[in-house]
Structure formats: structure tokens, C-alpha cells
Chains A and B, each alone.
Chain A
């Protein structure tokens, strides 16, 4: 694509492009770099004046504090990590299975109400699930799931965006392979597991990325559905460490906790990025 406008000896446009992208990129990364730097600062550097951006004598003391001290509660920090990992992996795991199973007939079968169901899913992308949180809460409390892991998992499994992406991705895959398997006498269930699932891999990776990020970062479920301290999730625990909004207390420990929280999302993105871009090419909406 760069070849479209060339011919001059010095490509000033190109140099300017790289310069701009790099400078702006570094600006975007600056808050994250600052967080990493703070997480490794010893106490003596945290409250220095004038404030310093980079750490001088890095230390792991903040991370040790995080795991040892439990703050105002009697629950160890590792419990929150465990809760978050459990909840997020259930949402991702069940979500993939349920959405892939639904995407298969929506993309490849021809039954009544197919487009009605698909349009309903597209409509659901157009509003935030946050507007239906009151009935969700009432339902969860009526069936007695408050203070259970299920309360924080069930409402988030059927995610419209992930399901939409899977269906769109599956649509552009040729039917020939499915037909071949069917001629060999495979049942639909078998076709789904041996043909559809392997082909869906990029879409599954994308689904995993998006649903992991939203599940991992979302403080609501634990805030609304739990009252027990030991059921709380990581984002909520971090709020507790900070001592409420607007207070800058225990900056070092807080930065360490925040860093621990951000690392998994970045790792998941790096692992899935190639497949994500492959899937997102089919994300287009049409009237």
C-alpha cells in the first residue's frame, strides 16, 4: 500500500508517518510505563518531591506486601486472584461452547426463524447489558444464587458480540467440508466437533480475548451479587486496597496489584492477536 504514492528520493511522508505513530504510541503507553515503574518503587521513592517518573532502585517489596498483608479484611489476596481466574475461565469456557454451538446452525443450517434469531442478536449489540442489570439482579436473588460463583458466571455466558463474530466468521467458510463429512455418515454433533470447531479456531480465539477482558476487568458482578468478602473478585479487591475513590494511599501496593491485574489481558492479546485480526475482518454490519 505504501507503493501507491512514491517516486521522490526522500520519503518525507513516510518519515513523518513513523515519527507521528511512534511519538503518539509512546504517549499512549506512558501511563502504563508509569504504573510499572511505580509498582517497583521502594517507599522512599513513592512520596518524593519533586515527583519522579522512573524508578531509581527497583524492588519487589510491593509485591511481597500485597501477598502478605491482607489490609482491612481477613481474606488473603491470593483468594481474590483465585476467584477472578475461576470466574473468568468459566465465562470464557462456557461462552465459547454455547456460542459456537449456536453459531453453527445460524451460519450453516436453513431452518425457520434463523434470520429472526440472528437479528435479535444484532439488536442486542446495540445496547449495553448494563441496562438490564436490575432484572438480572432480581432473577439471581430470586433463585437464591447470591454469594455463589454461578451468579457471577451465568448472566455473562450468552454474549451477543462474541456470538455475532462467530456466526459471521463461520459464514464465509465453504460448505464443501461439511458436506464431505455428512456424506461419510457423520452426525451433526460429530460434524460440529470434528469439522466446525477446528475451523472456528480464529473466531474462538477472538471470543476468548473479548470475553476474558470484560470478565476479568468488570467489578460489577462481585459488587452486586456478593456480600461475602471471600467471594470478591480482583477489581473489587483493588478498590478496597486503595481505600475508596480519590484516596492515594498505599500507592506502591496498589500499583503492584494493578500491574498484576493488567498483565494477563496483555498476554492474552499478544497470544491471540493474529487470529483476532483474521476474525475481525468479518465483523462488518450491513443494513
Chain B
């Protein structure tokens, strides 16, 4: 039934009343299609669409779960951008992180996928497994390795090697020193960044029609880099766009790695990201209104950046 109302609402300014009933009968004729869609749409509406609007609504209120939400206008946003130094710091850290891991991870994933596509089919699987496996491990499970590798005493693997080689005299506190926290998180995230996007590139690259390369040779393409630039990249553009969208989302949502390695809150908030700030307010301090405002800011950043990328890459 809600479909009907939605239909009427969108159709109203465009169509004459006679066309409403046409649309309605058209929809009734496709009843089966909507029945197929129903389970997904109900869950999707309940857990994605409605929450987006509820978040926006909550962000204008003070809400601590115990009392009913109280409307306070733009106060949350004013607080966020004017008084909350930690949030401003978190935005800085998140952007610094995103502008490094985003492009570097993306280019690395594409180049590795391209290199793998250059070797014969039968050897590809081994290399795919090497590069893809890190991304399917969980940050929690891997923390045992990282904590040991970056440990701040002489038993830490990195510190041990560095002292052996004479680079440093005494152990460096990688996970406590505010200068090394972000670089460590970046390294670990890059290690894990060959994920769904990487697979999309790999699949796209395998399916570039061979005759395009032959045509290229006739047109005087001599080197592999020319091939890459003029034939390969344009052919896999849709996959590149898909990968870029996923990359934006993952590089703006650093959370697990940061919490696992440097904790919440991290030393002097040096590893504090927008998402850790959100989690802190939502599920530790239970200030849902304020946390919703943080979520809205993050939401706008993601959608905005993705629209930008669509405009860049999407044009032919």
C-alpha cells in the first residue's frame, strides 16, 4: 500500500489524474515483481533508509536514551565544529589517513591486478591469494601480530631489527608515540586494502577483449605502459569507478585497526578518527543526539566525495 502512496506523491506534479490510475494498474499488473522485492525492500527500508532520516532528525536533539529526545536545533553541530577540539582533530586525522590510504591503496590494487593479468592464467591464482588474503583477515585477529611487530620494548620485532642494524639505540614506542600512531595505522590498513576493489579490477582486466590489443599494435603502440594507458584503463573504467566508491567508503571508516592497535581513546587522541569519536559518544557516553550529528557529518562526507569521483571518472 505504501507503494501506492509513494507512486501518487512522485507522479502528482507530472501526470494528470488519469495517468495515476494507469500507473496503479501498471503496478497491479506487476504485483509479482513487487512481491519478489518485498523482503529485501522491507529490511532495507527498516535498517537503512529509515535510519538515515532518523539520524538526521536525532542530530537536532539532545537524547540520552533514558529521557525522550529534546529538540535543541543546531546546537550539536555548533558544539561539534566550534567547541569540540577532539572532533576537529579526528576530522584532521581521518582526512590525513584517507588522503594517503585512499589513493595509495587504490593505485596499488590496480597496478598489482594489472601485473597479475600479465602472467599466464595458471599462475594467477597463487598471486591473487597472496594479495587478497590480508584483506579478508579481521583486524582483531591480526592484532596479535601487529602488537608484537610494533611492540615498544626490545622484544618487538621491528625494534629488534632496527637495533641490530644500528638504526636506533633504544626501542621506539611505535604504538604510544603520537608521531608514529597514524603511520602505523596507515601501514596496517594498506596491508589490508586489496579487497573487493582488487577483485573487481582483476576480473575487469581479464575480460578486456584481446583484439583491442591487436588493434593497438597495428596503430603503433610499442610499450606496455602505452597499452596500459590507452587501451587497458579505458576498457575497465566501470570497474575503476566501482573500486573508487568502495575505496572512499573504507578509507573514511577507519575504526577497527585504530581501536585494536592504539585503543579507545588512543594516547593524546593521536589515533582518534571520526568513527571512533562516534562510537565513543554513541555507545560509551550514550549521547545519541550528538553521536547522530557526527554520523550525519560522516555520511555527507562520503556521499559528497563519491559524487565528486563520479563526476571525475564517470564522464566518458
Contacts and interface: CB of A to CB of B under 8 A. Distances in A.
A276 B141 CA distance: 24
B44 interface: yes
Contacts of B88: none
B50 interface: yes
Contacts of A13: 224
A276 B263 contact: no
B48 A128 contact: no
17 contacts: A1-B118, A5-B227, A21-B112, A21-B127, A28-B134, A31-B142, A38-B145, A101-B36, A109-B30, A128-B252, A131-B302, A133-B282, A137-B283, A255-B145, A269-B132, A281-B204, A286-B314
B184 interface: no
A43 interface: no
Given A5-B224, A120-B49, A284-B241, A131 B200 contact: no
A245 B267 CA distance: 12
Contacts of A286: 238, 241, 314
A73 interface: no
B258 to A, nearest CB: 10
Interface string A24-50: 111011011011001000000001011
Contacts of A278: 203
Contact of A134 (B58, B154, B191): B58
A135 B58 contact: yes
A35 B51 contact: no
Contact of B136 (A120, A251, A266): A266
B275 A285 contact: no
A101 B238 contact: no
B114 to A, nearest CB: 10
Contacts of B217: 4
B141 A262 contact: yes
Given A17-B119, A31-B142, A98 B48 contact: no
Nearest to B201: A280
The 3 tightest CB contacts between A and B, nearest first, are A284-B238, A287-B314, A25-B130
B48 A132 contact: yes
Contacts of A2: 118-120
Interface string A74-112: 000000000000000000000001110110111001111
A188 B224 CA distance: 49
B160 interface: yes
Contact of B129 (A218, A270, A276): A270
A152 interface: no
Contacts of B112: 21, 24
Contacts of B227: 4-5
Contacts of A134: 51, 54-55, 58, 282, 288, 291-292, 295
Contacts of B296: 131
Contacts of B146: 31
Nearest to A116: B10
Interface stretch (B78-86, B96-104, B242-250): B242-250
A105 B52 contact: no
Interface string A243-262: 01111100100110111011
Contact of A217 (B127, B140, B250, B264): B140
B180 interface: no
A139 interface: yes
Nearest to A261: B141
A259 to B, nearest CB: 8
A280 B148 contact: no
Contacts of A158: 40, 43-44, 47-48
B196 A248 contact: no
A210 interface: yes
B143 interface: yes
Interface string A124-158: 11111111111111110000000000000011011
B155 interface: yes
A161 interface: yes
